[in-house]
Amino acid sequence: MHTPVYLDNHATTPVDPRVLEAMLPCFSGVFGNPSSRVHEFGWRAAEAVETARAQVARLIGAAPDEIIFTSGATESNNLAIKGVYEAAAKHGNHIITCATEHTAVLDVCRSLEKRGALVTILPVDSGGLLDPGRVADAITDHTVLISVMTANNEIGVIQPIEDIARVAAYKDIPFHTDAAQACGKAPFNVRMAGIHLVSFTAHKLYGPKGVGALCIRRRPPRVRLAAQIHGGGQERGWRSGTLNVPGIVGFGKACELMLDEMPAESLRLRVMRDRLLTLLRESIDGVDVNGALEPRLPHNLNVSFERVEGESLIMRLRDVAVSSGSACASASVSPSHVLHALGLTPERAHSSLRIGLGRFNTNPEIDYAAGRIIEEVKRLREISPTS
């Protein structure tokens, strides 16, 4: 077993060696620009991209021509939210979203507020779940988009996305979901009633960084979307720019592997995750799970340790890579907006750890991590002035 043990798979996942192998030819032989329509180099690159598009589409039950490649879920969210908002300017200016969304949704909505958007940010219950009834109540004649994430990146809680999508469909309102954490980790199919737009990204599913997708469904009512990046007209005009062929090929391979391996992998990770929680609870008191344990991503655990400052714990765990929340916010000292939305006290929010298991973790690593967390929690409690 090697240390440090990596348990921060919500921040990013290592590239699967099989994905890397699929990507390598794109740096040498298949180096052409897929937009070069007049020679063999371009054709081969375009063929590789179309194979990947089919693989990516298959993971979420979409048609290949419903997939637009982007640089990641942040860009996909920007395209979906700003794109719908701009295209719907004549019809309304109201967007509904949720308090526990990733900043790649919340900050996009905030930026639109400066351009005249009215944004309703719905609260969640103490488990982190959004009540579809609240979504229905929030809809007005001016609502142009509902955006609710599928699974949360900090607490792993899975929203009742089918029910929310049904509410949106009933009112003919485009529905977008940020499924960056859910795709490949939990059963997800875009054919669910009413889903129009899905954002996801390769680096959360053992693919490379810097590549993602927006699925734009063709189902009626057809969603109208204004492009956010203009130029050469690639990706049917929705996202200009030369395609990242190695990244896209890696994304495709990662999705193919996920589709094949998800059932067994989810089960294995769930068993390891539950074992980790049991080990912690057997040895120390005051271990509280943040967010509902079910429905939750099988590889997520977010726990608070009473009378322990989370940042101090993380600093002491140099041989176990965990985090206190979103990687994008981990430089900030303010408590996570997600834990705040659950109604946790600042003390409890500040005593939390986010643990994300992944494909390459082993049972000995989990035992080691549990032992180290227990050791450091005990030590911090011993030296804590409040203990």
Ligand X SMILES: Cc1ncc(COP(=O)(O)O)c(C=O)c1O
Site of interaction with ligand X (CB under 6 A):
72-74, 102, 104, 149, 153, 178, 180-181, 201, 212, 327-328
Catalytic residue, chosen from 98, 109, 255, 328, is 328
Q: In whole angstroms, what is the distance from residue 217 CA to residue 194 CA?
A: 9
The nearest distance, CB 186 to ligand X, in angstroms, is 13
Nearest-CB residue to ligand X?
72
Backbone angles phi, psi at 20, to 5 degrees: -60, -45
98 is catalytic: no
Q: In whole angstroms, what is the distance from residue 336 CA to residue 121 CA?
A: 16
Q: In whole angstroms, what is the distance from residue 208 CA to residue 239 CA?
A: 19
Nearer to ligand X, 251 or 305 (CB): 251
Give, as one character, the DSSP assignment of residue 229: B
Strand order in the sheet with 118-122: 67-70, 212-216, 197-201, 175-178, 143-147, 94-98, 118-122
Nearer to ligand X, 73 or 192 (CB): 73
Which tokens in the block code for residue 225? 């979307």
Question: Residue 300's beta-bridge partner residues?
Answer: 356
Nearer to ligand X, 153 or 351 (CB): 153
Reported as half-sphere exposure (CB side, CA atoms, 13 A), residue 297 has a value of: 31
Nearer to ligand X, 48 or 214 (CB): 214
Nearer to ligand X, 32 or 250 (CB): 250
The nearest distance, CB 329 to ligand X, in angstroms, is 10
The nearest distance, CB 147 to ligand X, in angstroms, is 11
Is the distance from CB of 295 to CB of 181 less than 8 angstroms? no
Which tokens in the block code for residue 77? 């969210």
Q: Which residues contact 90 (CB under 8 A, 6 or more apart)?
A: none
The nearest distance, CB 165 to ligand X, in angstroms, is 17
Nearer to ligand X, 203 or 253 (CB): 203
Question: Residue 176's beta-bridge partner residues?
Answer: 147, 197
Is the distance from CB of 277 to CB of 301 less than 8 angstroms? yes
Nearer to ligand X, 74 or 120 (CB): 74
R_g of the chain computed on alpha carbons: 21
The nearest distance, CB 299 to ligand X, in angstroms, is 13
The nearest distance, CB 77 to ligand X, in angstroms, is 6
Which tokens in the block code for residue 62? 């979409």
- The stretches of 27-140 forming alpha helices (DSSP H) are 40-60, 73-87, 103-113, 132-138
Dmax of the chain from CA atoms? 73
The nearest distance, CB 52 to ligand X, in angstroms, is 16
Is the distance from CB of 92 to CB of 145 less than 8 angstroms? no
Backbone angles phi, psi at 378, to 5 degrees: -60, -45
Active site positions, annotated:
328
